[in-house]
Amino acid sequence: MAPFKAQNMAMNSFVTIDGGEIGWAQVVQDQAARIEPPVDMNPMLLKPVAYNASQVLVHDRPAGTFGARHYHKDYVRQSR
């Protein structure tokens, strides 16, 4: 069993053994499962840079810095 979280928001990220970044909460879960934390288990990382904006990393690659409305409109799948 390996923990997976598709999207995580974290001000402080963890650098994986291969140089990638994932959220600390994911790292703690991976350590509890006794596995090395891979970027694939946390493919989207949101790093807050302002009150309503975050830097978005997708599979450890910067996708840009987005305001909350722009991110929600363009990246969150609508269930309607």
Regarding pTM above 0.85, the answer is no
pLDDT for 8: 87
Q: Which two tokens stand for residue 51?
A: 């009150």
22 compared with 80, residue with greater pLDDT: 22
Q: What is the DSSP letter of 65?
A: E
For the chain, what are the domain ranges? 7-75
Q: Which pLDDT does position 4 carry in this prediction?
A: 83
Q: Which helix (H) or strand (E) holds 58?
A: strand 53-58
Nearest-Å Rg of the Cα atoms of the chain is: 13
Whether 16 and 30 have beta carbons less than 8 Å apart is answered as no
- Res. 75: pLDDT tops 90: no
Would you say how long the chain is, in residues?
80
